[in-house]
Chain A
Amino acid sequence: MTYEKPLPQPNADTKPFWDGCKQHQLRFQKCRDCQHIRWPPSIICPLCYSHDTEWIVASGRGKIYTFAVYHQAFHKAFENDLPYVTAVVELEEGPHLLTNIVGCNPEEIECDMPVEVIWEDINSEFTIPKFKILAEPKGRS
């Protein structure tokens, strides 16, 4: 079946991120001077303006910072997914990532729920990072 949803549009700044997804890795830039992990990608650190940057691989775990539930599709390729959930996931490493929460009833979702990345390989070129709710909250005693 053809994939009809919009595809990622990598540019010079975001290509390393999407290349990482292809390897099932969430990659973010880390400032070698002040250690700040940044997203979206940029040529310099927004805090200390250093150019000295490395790409790190994030754990893929985080929590739901916020989310929205779509009850109507604004693009026909999303009609079959209704109701679907977009979310901002706060990763353990710090960055906030816009994504989808999948594999659960939207009514079960709450802010701050622990989540983990899952990978949707959509074609030979692109893999999309989505998230699922973790059954057991991490660090639960």
Chain B
Amino acid sequence: MTPKQAFAQALPALLLAPLLLSPAPAQGQADLMGRWDTLITLPFFPVHDHLLPNGKVMIWPGDGGISGDDPRLWDPATQSLSLLAKPGYDVFCSGHSFLADGRLFVAGGHIQNGVGLARSSLYDPIANAWIAAPNMNAGRWYPTVTTLANGDALVVSGSIDNTVGTNTLPQVYQAGSATWRNLSSAALGLDLYPMMFVAPNGRVVNVGPTPTTRALDTSGTGAWSLIGSSKFGHRSYGSAVMYAEGKILLVGGGDPPTNTAEVIDLTQPTPAWRNTAPMSIARRQLNATLLPDGTVLVTGGTFGPGFNNASTPAHPAELWNPATETWTTLASATVPRLYHSAALLLPDGRVLSTGGNGQPTPEAFSPPYLFKGTRPAMSGVPSALGYGQRFAVQTSDAASIRKVTLIRITSVTHAFNPNQRLNTLGFTATAGGLEIVAPASGNVAPPGHYLLFLVNGSGVPSVGSIVRLGTALPLTRKSR
């Protein structure tokens, strides 16, 4: 699609926008529209947000003259903010994902615009300590980190500098040995912050923002294979989520922005993209967040042309239902969320929305499901689960439970959350509770920490309980 065609497609939405996009003052029908709440203003606008295994949120800034070497801990219950240990360098524009043991792996960072650091580190949330990992082959500014089925971490892309461009060498951080393995047979030019997902066959699929869809075999020295091409074209600053095992929603992005969305099912013998219903508003710089009931919440972004058009913020949230593949417009946020905004699912089922350049005031979105009756409760959730393990939870609401989901904890920046993914688990009701079956393998649920939710027949989720999936040993107080 040419920019001209894209603009023509977006024109109806642009014309309707003045009617649609002003912040909605009414918060009346919360059970239908959800509700936004303004939170306590932060000392900076966060650019990188992470839900730690302890249920609190780690944030750090960047841009606007502020170094990223300033992580803070935000408590969702109290909104209190506290200092954290510093990495000792600027982790703005880094890539990150959680490892199997709950440590946050951070690759690259900021030297100058377009000039990336070769450094990598691990943040241990139990010890509140940063541990240096070996340097990468070269700098990476805007890389993507993906936790693999075996708990290692793949790093791709990221800019070296303005004379070489992006780092074409994929590398795997081998968590067990704290060493790098170069995928030197798989050198490839990728866009900044490419959208990567572990597919059910264990390969890592790149779905954007470039339309070419490829799968990377990370064994040995690596190998790419071609899958196909997405339909819209280049979705710069769009977003993507794996909303079910092997199923990916690709939405928004481009310039001028698009409202289109498309899906692919990687479990099919010949996966191919197909269009699904578009959002009501074209958006780029948006965030897409998986919710406990299996729906996808889209927030923020801008509908006007240009890199970061501040005059056209998209305030309404929209909800995509994967069962019907339709969108529902929800309540409008107050604060524009554009470039450098982020959104993440909290254990209590709300969505924290932060940042955007110059926007230090976060908001929390309470989806409609929080206004639809009593929430299921559960207890006795194991802290650790093995693959394929049958485990029991106690709940007096067993008869009303219709769905059990696992959502991987968030690590998000620049409109893409490489860490989140959702698994729907099989379960049976038992006396006083449920027997649930954990995901079968790391291919469908890479090892690490997840939020476990029970969802009742009204779509109301429990509070998420954090569980560790896989065989990794838990972190201890002593930093390793």
A binds B: no
Binding site for B on A (CB under 8 A): none
Q: What residues of chain B have their CB less than 8 Å away from a CB belonging to chain A?
A: none
